[in-house]
A and B are shown apart, each in its own frame.
Chain A
Amino acid sequence: MKKNILLFIFVINLTLLTSFIQNKDLDQSVVIIVNKENPIEKLSVSEIKLYWLRKVKKRWTELNKNIKPVDRKGKSSEQEAFYKKVLKMSAIDVESYFSQKQYESAEKPQDKFSSDKDIIDFVSEQEGAIGFINSNSVNSEIKSKVKIVATIN
């Protein structure tokens, strides 16, 4: 009996912990960043999706540069939030989408980095880059390096 109670408590705790982790991912807010040279000031969620997936447009018209989507390498709460809230696609679908584009028309897939810092460095160097970082990472130093065009809560 005692064993069963302990097991029940363990399962309840595990369930709560799992739901907490999931909710944490869903609650994660991210900011969308582009290069300082990019004249774009604001982007809506649907525009971010079109640009990041290089649907419709493959180049920034005003910059005359290729759009370079930037992603996180491996799973992260930021990536999960971006995929769910902006792309509304699963990780498998995102990868399949870029693989298909690469196979059909030799288009380069998204660049991937393992940390917000690496993404910020890349976006600050590449004029055509567009990426996402954790909103908690934003400070005045980062604002001096890249331009924030949207906040996704």
Chain B
Amino acid sequence: MIKNTLFIVIITINLTFSQETKLNFYAQPGLDVLHSPLNKDVGVMFRGAQFIAYITSNITDRLIAAVELHPHVNFKNGPEFEIERLFLKYYFQDYFSIRAGRMYMPVGYWNQNYNFAAVMIPVINRPNILQPGHEDGFINTRDIGIQFEGNDIGGLRFSYKAMVSNGIGKNGGLGGNFRNFDTHFAYTTNISIQPIDGLKFIVSGIYNDVIHKGDPSQFSSANFIDNVRQIAYNGSIVYMNSDYKFELIAEYISTINAYKNLGNKSIYSVIFYTGYKATDKIIPYLYSEFTKFDSSDPLFMPGTGLDLSTVSNELTLQSNFKVSPGIRYRLNTNAVLKFEYNLYSFDKEKFVHGPSTQFAIGF
């Protein structure tokens, strides 16, 4: 812990005193109210501010460094820092640059653009499918590796990103597990075209090479109980153009965890967002997501993953659905107030519903 803190402090000081350094902070406190008709219960909860520090520095004309830090409280270990991102980017030309370090994986649109700085995120919460592994997520959203990218090539504004990273078998790279001395990696590619300014068509995918039985998983406290390959596909249509009033993000993400002995376990999710800039400051919107996953997938079953006999081979599907009409009020560039009325459905349970608010700031 002390080592980590020192490491972060050194990086922060170095970057802060570098030329052309920008230091941004983000915070997003909020309040949730939930009403469960089934239990006839009402829950009210303040949401933490989720404080984020983001430092970027133009070291040279072509070399950029960025660090995104997330201090939070771990119930077991007390206060700690999480490095959400830490990367160097070297810019050769518009059609080719390289990033190396820990970064968001180039899956779809949402995961690359909206994460912790809620002042820029059009809704209150991230989609369920894109939650980090340790927060009940389903896919690898961040990893350590190297990424090659090029943007806005030719008339169709073709862009590509290709990333080689440690993959979930090495605990997203955080565990740095060399126990098996293997050379397996995760390979992520993302290609897109932008025929009209703001209108993007994206196709992306992740191929996680064989993850060995016994390797640590970033999704639960248990290790993998079987050899598994993870393959994820994505298709997105996005229209986000500040020149126009209409906003749209539609994403489909599907994942197959192909176990050697347990067979295939699938997950798929649809994310839909549309907004309309009624005025410069007021944007009403509608957000919806649907996720269906196999609850017998040992990847998401902490505590049961160590024993094969406890895992059923029968396909047990679970789903959750959320629809949230909301409104965003932009006080200015650095402050946004959001209000949503959420309706959740978990499998066959009745709708759980209630309002949520968020005051997102950046400074």
Contacts and interface: CB of A to CB of B under 8 A. Distances in A.
- Our verdict on whether A and B bind, yes or no, reads yes
Interface of A: 55-59, 65-66, 88-97, 99-100, 102-109
B347 interface: no
B280 A99 contact: no
B61 interface: yes
A76 to B, nearest CB: 16
A106 to B, nearest CB: 4
A89 B242 contact: yes
B362 A99 contact: yes
A107 B97 CA distance: 13
A100 B333 contact: no
A56 B66 CA distance: 22
B120 interface: yes
A106 B93 contact: no
Contacts of A90: 280
B89 A102 contact: no
A89 B64 CA distance: 28
A102 B56 contact: yes
Contacts of B197: 55
Nearest to B279: A90
B117 interface: yes
A108 B58 contact: yes
B242 A93 contact: yes
Contact of A92 (B56, B91, B243, B281): B281
Contacts of A66: 61-62, 91
Contacts of A92: 280-281, 330, 332-333
Given A99-B117, A108-B64, 20 more contacts: A55-B197, A56-B152, A58-B151, A59-B93, A66-B91, A88-B243, A90-B280, A92-B280, A92-B281, A92-B330, A92-B333, A94-B242, A95-B333, A95-B334, A99-B333, A99-B362, A100-B113, A104-B113, A106-B66, A107-B64
Nearest to B240: A100
Given A90-B280, A96-B120, A106 B89 contact: yes
B94 A57 contact: yes
26 contacts: A55-B197, A56-B157, A58-B151, A59-B94, A65-B61, A91-B333, A92-B281, A92-B333, A95-B334, A96-B120, A96-B330, A97-B242, A99-B24, A100-B120, A102-B24, A102-B56, A103-B24, A103-B120, A104-B113, A106-B64, A106-B65, A106-B87, A107-B64, A108-B22, A108-B56, A109-B22
Contacts of B117: 99, 103
Give me the 4 closest cross-chain CB pairs, A-B, nearest first.
Answer: A95-B333, A106-B66, A93-B242, A106-B56
B307 interface: no
Nearest to A108: B58
Nearest to A98: B333
Contacts of A94: 242
Contacts of A100: 113, 120
B134 to A, nearest CB: 22
Contacts of B62: 66
Contacts of B242: 89, 93-94, 96-97
Contacts of A88: 243
A89 B89 contact: no
A57 B333 contact: no
A130 to B, nearest CB: 15
B333 A96 contact: yes
A107 B333 CA distance: 17
B112 interface: yes
Contacts of B119: 99
B91 A58 contact: yes
Contacts of A56: 94, 152, 157
Contact of B112 (A91, A104, A107, A108): A104
Contacts of B333: 91-92, 95-96, 99
B26 to A, nearest CB: 9
Contacts of A96: 120, 242, 330, 333
A23 B44 CA distance: 50
B54 interface: yes
B136 interface: no
B135 interface: no
